[in-house]
Amino acid sequence: MDLHYLTAHELGDLLQRREVSAVEVTEAIIDRIEAVDGRVQAYLTRTAEQAFEQAKAIDAARARGEKPGPLAGVPMALKDNLCTEGIRTTCASRMLAGWVPPYDATVVRRLKAAGAVMLGKLNMDEFAMGSSTENSGFFPTRNPWDLERVPGGSSGGSVAAVAAGEACYALGSDTGGSIRQPASFCGVVGMKPTYGRVSRYGLVAFASSLDQIGPITRDVTDCALVLGVIAGHDPSDSTSADLPVPDYRAALRPEIKGLKIGVPREYFGAGMEPEVETVVRRAIARLEEMGAVCEETSLPHTEYALPAYYLVAPAEASSNLARYDGVGYGLRVPGKDIIAMYMNTRSQGFGPEVKRRIMLGTYALSSGYYDAYYLKALKVRTLIRRDFEAAFAKYDLLATPTAPTVAFRLGEKAGDPLAMYLSDLCTIPINMAGLPALSLPCGFSQGLPVGLQLIGKAFDEATLLRVAYAFEQTTEYHRRRPELGVA
């Protein structure tokens, strides 16, 4: 039995029946990491020692007759922008190369309380800015399906680790598609919950009004399980919603008859690979066969989402990233005075994409341009939100492609930021509107995974999961594993 390719709930069942121990599972996955990570390069920091300690503690608890939850003893890993007490958290930036947070993110605390075994921290685009994980300040991660291709970004390390059997599940963050787009490229399930559903406390901010933490898993059941653990109000995050968290696993029923699904035509625009479109349309047809009512619809302001996003996100980022100045922590490059020290530190600490966005954002917020750029973008954001409100007056959810293409080659778009930005075309509007969305494997094109994106009403993750689960029950795509040249 390949323990490293089981889902979290399958492993959880084995652990609960004590057919395997958490230590055995941990060992198996650490062996897998040893075997493949040299090629995939998903991990920035590995914490095997702590993982074994956590695994032993879970085994001991079970031996005492305790019954910890279904994720207890299941090995997982975190995107390296989630703060972990005592374990370095770098955001894949030289700026934070040696930084060790003195505290855990709320989601990390919740996972620890659920008995999670943490294997380490995963690669990403620097400060979560990018769509390919080539912008990591350290090294690019590769797509397990084709090592010459990108895993997507910015949660590329998290997604590649889950796809390659190097973690049973992972957490990523999604500001404009950073969980869903790589999930689509690597054939796993990735969800961006509603803005406010999961506490952002301890997530190193990129764009605060768009960022959301979410699960990356091998199937929908795992997605429901992990979301159930990390969701819920947190008094440390005033933007986190004080709403009850449903039992997401209990919501998974293979029953979608009569459900109304809108298919916005703007998401099938120019730049879409025909074969990807075919695969996605076939998936939507399958939902129809299962009893859903699918109908073409329109979200007329979609085309403005990308430009508005590239004002709002960099504006917030320029402010959020101002704290990396060499004064209190992180990299410091000396200079003849304080201004020179700031400039040297920031020049050498940040990579080109981060600098590009800081400059864009600083410009967009500066006096004289604020109204024309930032404020205008906020107005566009309102229009986009209204598009969705209108659509959700008619439909229970929306279905679209997650990304216009399959995974592209390393280096293919690295020199062309605008081409790179287009790969998040289908995901960005959802962040602008703060809605929940999920990407799940729905087929293959050129032997590479294609993702179907389901978009839900605010705080209605349950419906998304239910539809995704129903779809998954009728397909085998989520069971396929990349070869990677090892058993």
Partner 1 sequence: MEYEAVIGLEVHVELKTNAKAFCGCTTAFGGEPNTHVCPVCLGLPGVLPVINRQVVEFGLKTALALNCQVAPFCKFDRKNYYYPDLPKNYQISQYDLPLARGGHLKITVDGEERVIGITRVHMEEDAGKLIHVDGPDGGYSLVDYNRTGVPLLEIVSEPDLRSPAEARAYMEKLRAILQYLDVSDCKMEEGSLRCDANVSVRPRGSQAFGTKTEVKNLNSFRSLQRALEYEIERQVAILEGGGRVEQATMAWDENRGVTYVMRTKEEAQDYRYFPDPDLVPLEIDAAWIERVRRELPELPDARCRRLIDDYGLPAYDAGVITSSRDLADYFDRVVALYPDAKTVSNWIMGDFLRLLNAGNLEPRQSPVPPEEMAALLQLQKEGTISGKIAKQVLEEMFATGKGARQVVQEKGLVQISDAAALAQIVEEVLAANPGVVEDYRNGKDKALGFLVGQVMKVTKGKANPGLVNRLLKERL
Element (H, E) at 115: none
Q: How many CB atoms lie within 10 A of CB 249?
A: 18
User: Token match 């949660």: residue?
Assistant: 155
Q: For the CA atoms of 357, 363, 369, 374, what is the dihedral angle to 10 degrees?
A: 30
- Indicate whether 323 belongs to the interface with partner 1 (CB under 8 A): yes
**Residue closer to partner 1 (CB basis): 82 or 448:** 82
**Residue closer to partner 1 (CB basis): 265 or 376:** 376
> x/- contact string, 64-103, with partner 1 (CB under 8 A)?
-----------------xxx-----x-x----x--x-xxx
What the block records as the tokens of 412 is 């293919």
**Residue closer to partner 1 (CB basis): 32 or 79:** 79
Question: DSSP strand E in 69-153: where?
Answer: 75-79, 117-122
Please return the burial class of 26, using the count of CB atoms within 10 Å of its CB with bins 0-12, 13-18 and 19+: buried
- Indicate whether 1 belongs to the interface with partner 1 (CB under 8 A): no
**Residue closer to partner 1 (CB basis): 83 or 470:** 83
Q: For the CA atoms of 52, 54, 55, 56, what is the dihedral angle to 10 degrees?
A: 90
Q: For the CA atoms of 472, 477, 481, 483, what is the dihedral angle to 10 degrees?
A: 180
Annotated catalytic residue within 93, 131, 173, 178: 178
- Indicate whether 365 belongs to the interface with partner 1 (CB under 8 A): yes
217 backbone dihedrals φ, ψ, rounded to 5°: -140, 175
Q: How far is the CB of 193 from partner 1 (least distance, A)?
A: 17
Annotated catalytic residue within 93, 154, 199, 439: 154
- Indicate whether 208 belongs to the interface with partner 1 (CB under 8 A): yes
Q: How far is the CB of 332 from partner 1 (least distance, A)?
A: 12
- Indicate whether 50 belongs to the interface with partner 1 (CB under 8 A): no
**Residue closer to partner 1 (CB basis): 120 or 202:** 202
The yes-or-no answer on residue 93 being catalytic is no
What the block records as the tokens of 20 is 């395997």
Among 28, 161, 168, 205, binds partner 1 (CB under 8 A): 205
Q: How many whole angstroms separate alpha carbon 246 and alpha carbon 382?
A: 28
> x/- contact string, 290-319, with partner 1 (CB under 8 A)?
-------------------------xx-xx
Coil vs helix vs strand at 357 = helix
- Indicate whether 410 belongs to the interface with partner 1 (CB under 8 A): no
- Indicate whether 190 belongs to the interface with partner 1 (CB under 8 A): no
Q: How many CB atoms lie within 10 A of CB 194?
A: 23
**Residue closer to partner 1 (CB basis): 239 or 297:** 239
Among 285, 322, 359, 486, binds partner 1 (CB under 8 A): 322
What the block records as the tokens of 195 is 């803005």
Query: Which candidate, 435, 439, 405, places its Cα nearest to that of 423?
Result: 405
- Indicate whether 382 belongs to the interface with partner 1 (CB under 8 A): no
Cβ neighbours of residue 372 closer than 8 Å, sequence gap 6 or more = none
CA 54 vs CA 61, 118, 387: distances in Å: 11, 8, 46
Q: How far is the CB of 467 from partner 1 (least distance, A)?
A: 30
Asked if 253 and 466 count as a contact pair (C-beta separation under 8 A), the reply is: yes
Q: How many CB atoms lie within 10 A of CB 65?
A: 6
- Indicate whether 344 belongs to the interface with partner 1 (CB under 8 A): no
The yes-or-no answer on residue 79 being catalytic is yes
CA 446 to chain centre: 24
Q: How far is the CB of 438 from partner 1 (least distance, A)?
A: 24
Dmax (CA) of the chain: 70
Asked if 312 and 378 count as a contact pair (C-beta separation under 8 A), the reply is: yes
Q: How many whole angstroms separate alpha carbon 313 and alpha carbon 305?
A: 11
CA 487 to chain centre: 27
Q: How far is the CB of 460 from partner 1 (least distance, A)?
A: 21
- Indicate whether 340 belongs to the interface with partner 1 (CB under 8 A): no
- Indicate whether 206 belongs to the interface with partner 1 (CB under 8 A): no
Annotated catalytic residue within 79, 121, 413, 457: 79
- Indicate whether 239 belongs to the interface with partner 1 (CB under 8 A): yes
Q: How far is the CB of 135 from partner 1 (least distance, A)?
A: 18
Among 98, 235, 291, 352, binds partner 1 (CB under 8 A): 235
**Residue closer to partner 1 (CB basis): 278 or 366:** 366
The yes-or-no answer on residue 238 being catalytic is no
What the block records as the tokens of 470 is 């129903």
> x/- contact string, 4-43, with partner 1 (CB under 8 A)?
----------------------------------------
What is the Cα Rg of the chain in Å? 21
- Known catalytic residues are 79, 154, 178
Q: Which residues bind partner 1 (CB under 8 A)?
A: 81-83, 89, 91, 96, 99, 101-103, 105, 200-205, 207-209, 235-239, 315-316, 318-319, 322-323, 325, 327-329, 338, 342, 362, 365-367, 370, 374
